[in-house]
Amino acid sequence: MASHIRNIALLTPDSGLRRGLDLIVGDDGRVADIGRALPPAPGAEIIDGRGALCLPGLVNSHNHSPLMIVRGMIEDVSFAPAYTPGVPQGHWLSDEETLALARLGVMEMLCAGATTIVDYYRCPEALAQAAHELGLRAMVGGRVMDMDSAALAEGRFARDEALGEATLGAALALQETWDGKGRISTILAPHAPDSCSREMFLRMRDLAETSGKQIHTHLSQSQMEVDQLRAREGMTPTEFLEDVGVLSPDLIAAHCIFMSDSDIARFGAAGAVVAHAPIGNASFGAAAPIKALLEAGATITLCTDTKSADMFEAMRMALASARWKAGMSFDFDAAQVFGWATQGGAAALRGHAATGTLTIGDPADLILLDPDAPNLRPQIDGAGIVVHSANAGNVTDVMVEGDWLVRHRRPTRADMTEVVQTAQQVCEGLWRRARG
């Protein structure tokens, strides 16, 4: 159904802030017109924006939705649950448990304003199912690894070829079943250089070449990973990815914290993409060298990595951590990181139809922010107030391709209360198991 949204303050990365506009969405789910006091669109639902900020939907470039199970529990202990004893582990989860947790994680991202997400983990068909039910764009992958999951939590790296075959099989089955279904696309998702062998990364490279899929992985997220690759391969994780032939613009690498100057130069020269997770990085006292990576030629996108679904917080933390890491540098500003979260993220990730902006002909992926929110005033510079003061709780409505997926802060395709309660029950059971 067509929509005519009246009286909005439209903020886009390419045109800045424009107040008092109407935006019309056609029956095809695309932006049909933008202007002042436009005549009513025939047959369209008329919505009074009441001066609300209207933004392109946010692009959240790296997540593992079921891992919200350890949120609030892992941050005071370690950098990642896969490497941490005493917390629920991914290999414990059944398909049903994964689906319950993924529904909660995806719903949170959607209600926080993300219209395009990357999500990968075990039981990937459950992730795709959750995203499909809620209606947003999702690039989904099966987490592939051939190091023993249980051993990783104990700090040991033990090759498990059977696990590698099983996780790779699930990832390939996902592509057969879900690629192109609704708004779902698929990715190749080897977990990390330390949890995947050289042989597995070579297989990933070959699959990427034949399928045209991008590779999403973790890179240099801990000193332990760097030490393990030096011991196993005699090189850094970045040098390893270059050596196996996956360091390219088609590589999306999360974190990129513990990188030498040489690593940064290699990564940037390859034109590879950083999935910058400033919230999770900061939670264990780390910051990625974003200024150096950007200057070297890397592309920057933003993600919340399931520590929080709040991309506004991620934008704010991206600025703060980059300035701290670069020695109080003001080379970055709100408009730049807003671009990373919208148009830049959409351009860096292939396989979806999002553009990250709102011009005539674009898919109508948009969000509305509460026009009465005190924290969104004064509204002088649109990017400034959004990045420095907005939060996920300001998101009232979310549209993807002309479909309202969130209205008045509630998802339209899921029972929020049921999703929350079911996931809570699953979490309680898994934490009882973790605590023995």
3-state secondary structure labels for all residues of 52-87: EEEEECEEECCCCHHHHHHCCCCCCCCCCHHHCCCC
Count the alpha carbons within 13 Å of 129 in the hemisphere toward its beta carbon: 14
d(CA 367, CA 54): 6
Q: Is 176 helix (H, G, I), strand (E, B) or coil?
A: helix
Domains present along the chain, CATH in parentheses: 3-56+357-411 (2.30.40.10), 58-348 (3.20.20.140)
d(CA 262, CA 132): 41
Q: What is the DSSP letter of 74?
A: S
Residue type, 424: Q
d(CA 186, CA 409): 28
- Tokens found for residue 17: 């802030």
C-alpha closest to that of 412 among 397, 427, 434, 431: 397
- What count of other Cβ atoms lies within 10 Å of the Cβ of residue 148? 18
Within 237-365, strands assigned E span: 251-255, 273-276, 299-302
Read out DSSP for 366-426? EEEE-TT-GGG-S-SSHHHHHHHH--GGGEEEEEETTEEEEETTEESSS-HHHHHHHHHHH
What's the pLDDT score for residue 58? 98
Cα dihedral 278, 280, 285, 288, rounded to 10, equals: -40
The phi, psi pair for 330, rounded to 5°, reads -110, 30
- Residue for token pair 């099989």: 169
Side-by-side strand order, sheet with 273-276: 215-219, 251-255, 273-276, 299-302
- Contact between residue 5 and residue 49 where contact means Cβ atoms under 8 Å apart: yes
- Residue for token pair 């690759």: 229
- Tokens found for residue 98: 């994964």
Q: Is the peptide bond before 85 cis (omega within 30 degrees of 0)?
A: no
What's the pLDDT score for residue 326? 82
What's the pLDDT score for residue 156? 85
What's the pLDDT score for residue 431? 85
- Residue for token pair 């994780």: 237
Q: Terminus-to-terminus CA distance in the chain, angstroms?
A: 52
What's the pLDDT score for residue 82? 66
Q: Going residue by residue through the chain (436 aa), what tens digit of pLDDT does each one get?
A: 899 999 999 999 999 999 999 999 999 999 999 999 999 888 999 999 999 999 999 999 999 999 888 888 777 776 676 677 777 777 788 999 999 999 999 999 999 999 999 999 999 999 999 999 999 999 999 999 999 877 777 778 889 999 999 999 999 999 999 999 999 999 999 999 999 999 999 999 999 999 999 999 999 999 999 999 999 999 999 999 999 999 999 999 999 999 999 999 999 999 999 999 999 999 888 999 999 999 999 999 999 998 789 999 999 999 999 998 888 777 889 999 999 999 999 999 999 999 999 999 999 999 999 999 999 999 988 999 999 999 999 999 999 999 999 999 999 999 999 999 999 999 999 888 888 7
